[in-house]
């Protein structure tokens, strides 16, 4: 796996050029307790807040995006991600809301892969047929260490988790980092990084479930209007594992190249792939070159409030999951019951089951290399 680098202006250069405005509009950072895990580990919440009404709260349990507050066209703010109000609820209802998922996000068929002629067996924590999101205790279910937290023109917090060799069946000691950074342009940047001491596989992403109408909105998220710049998607088998082919979206219910409400075609049972996933739960093959400059991966808009979320990514794919398996058994942070279709995940990633599909982009990481996945959640409004 190659290392991706982006050339960005230094904060020092920006500060020197615009010292007074930056000093007046520094993004604030606050920290507070967020409860503890059943085994007594303290969990912390770090909130980044800019002067334009945007804030992001990240908790050390799972390096999880617990809240993302954004204004609508009239300036009224709302939290647009699903989540819970304390650490105990995240442990109890382990459904990945906002979590940093890894060591390998998404599914690996039969929970098995081969690396350098050795076969590794992972836990079958997805209906007994696949490994999902890193295993029984993936990265979203551990308390990460806060390595750095700072306010400024761009406020940020960096978490670290060291996954020992053999954890959840994966080879190599993996040192993973997750950095959340908020600026005054209403952009929340998430950067995942990882290094290893022996060959392994890596695919880390964020599993936020969005509703730009507002978390807990009575109408759910099916009225959110989605644009996906992808000409193809990955069809799946009965176990939701990609078959290995790429199918054109043209002429299908999977075509979101033009803005379309998520719920418009989600119950179209004439498409066997919709039936298999109980709706959308598929990898989209993004247009443009991966591993280089960030490009648009998805756009989500709420016509009623005017809120718009754009996701920029350097990854080859994005998993679109329409909350099909949210079953009404959990209560969210605002006291509302979460139901099917109440949130939409758009996860920049390498493709599911990539270790077993040589035609997919490689996910191998060797000693001396650095894994990177960077995404930007850009918040705007429309009329």
Do 372 and 176 meet the contact criterion of CB atoms below 8 Å apart?
no
How many residues are present in the chain?
383
Distance CA 176, CA 162 (A): 6
What's the rounded Cα separation, in Å, for the pair 210 and 300? Answer: 9
- For 80-98, b/e burial (b = at least 16 CB within 10 A) is bbbbbbbbbbbbeebbbbb
CA within 13 Å, CB half, 263 = 13
| 25 noted as active-site residue | no
Check 161, 282, 347, 350 and give the catalytic one: 347
Instruction: Confirm if 250 and 198 have CB atoms less than 8 A apart.
Output: no
Catalytic: 133? no
Tokens of 207: 């599993």
Two tokens, residue 87:
């650490």
Query: How many CB atoms neighbour CB 285 within 10 A?
Result: 19
User: Of 207, 215, 282, 350, which is the active-site residue?
Assistant: 207
- Residue 92 has φ and ψ, to the nearest 5°, of -70, -45
For residue 103, cis peptide bond before it (omega within 30 degrees of 0) = yes
Which strand (E) or helix (H) includes residue 132? strand 130-132
Cα distances from 73 to residues 40, 77, 183, 188, in angstroms, run: 43, 9, 19, 19
- Kindly tell me the sign of the dihedral angle through the C-alpha atoms of 184, 379, 59, 148: negative
What letter does residue 187 receive in the DSSP assignment? E
Catalytic residue list? 207, 347
């Amino acid at each position: 796996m190659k290392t991706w680098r982006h050339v960005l202006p230094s904060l020092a250069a920006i500060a020197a050029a615009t010292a007074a405005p930056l000093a007046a509009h520094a993004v604030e950072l606050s920290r507070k307790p967020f409860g503890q895990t059943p085994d007594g580990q303290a969990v912390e919440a770090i909130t980044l807040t800019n002067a334009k009404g945007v804030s992001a709260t990240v908790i050390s349990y799972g390096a999880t995006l617990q809240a993302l507050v954004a204004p609508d066209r009239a300036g009224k703010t709302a939290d647009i991600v699903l989540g819970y109000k304390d650490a105990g609820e995240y442990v109890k209802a382990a459904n990945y809301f906002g979590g940093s998922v890894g060591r390998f996000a998404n599914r690996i068929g039969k929970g098995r892969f081969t690396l350098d002629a050795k076969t590794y067996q992972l836990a079958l924590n997805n209906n007994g047929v696949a490994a999902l999101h890193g295993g029984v205790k993936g990265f979203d279910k551990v308390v990460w260490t806060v390595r750095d937290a700072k306010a400024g023109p761009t406020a940020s917090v960096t978490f670290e988790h060291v996954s020992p060799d053999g954890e959840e069946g994966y080879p190599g000691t993996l040192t993973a980092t997750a950095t959340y950074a908020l600026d005054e342009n209403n952009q929340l940047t998430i950067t995942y990084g990882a290094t290893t001491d022996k060959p392994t596989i890596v695919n880390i992403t964020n599993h936020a479930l969005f509703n730009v109408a507002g978390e807990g909105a009575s109408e759910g998220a099916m009225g959110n209007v989605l644009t996906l710049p992808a000409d193809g998607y990955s069809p799946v088998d009965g176990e939701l594992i990609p078959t290995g082919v790429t199918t054109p979206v043209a002429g299908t219910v999977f075509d979101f190249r033009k803005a379309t409400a998520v719920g418009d075609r989600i119950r179209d049972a004439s498409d066997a792939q919709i039936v298999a996933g109980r709706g959308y739960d598929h990898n989209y093959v993004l247009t443009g070159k991966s591993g280089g400059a960030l490009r648009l991966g998805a756009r989500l808009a709420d016509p009623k409030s005017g809120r718009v979320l754009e996701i920029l990514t350097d990854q080859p794919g994005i998993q679109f999951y329409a909350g099909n398996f949210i079953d009404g058994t959990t209560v969210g942070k605002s006291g509302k019951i979460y139901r099917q279709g109440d949130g939409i995940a758009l996860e920049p990633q390498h493709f599911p089951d990539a270790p077993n599909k040589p035609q997919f982009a490689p996910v191998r990481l060797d000693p001396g290399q650095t894994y990177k996945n960077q995404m930007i959640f850009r918040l705007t409004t429309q009329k």
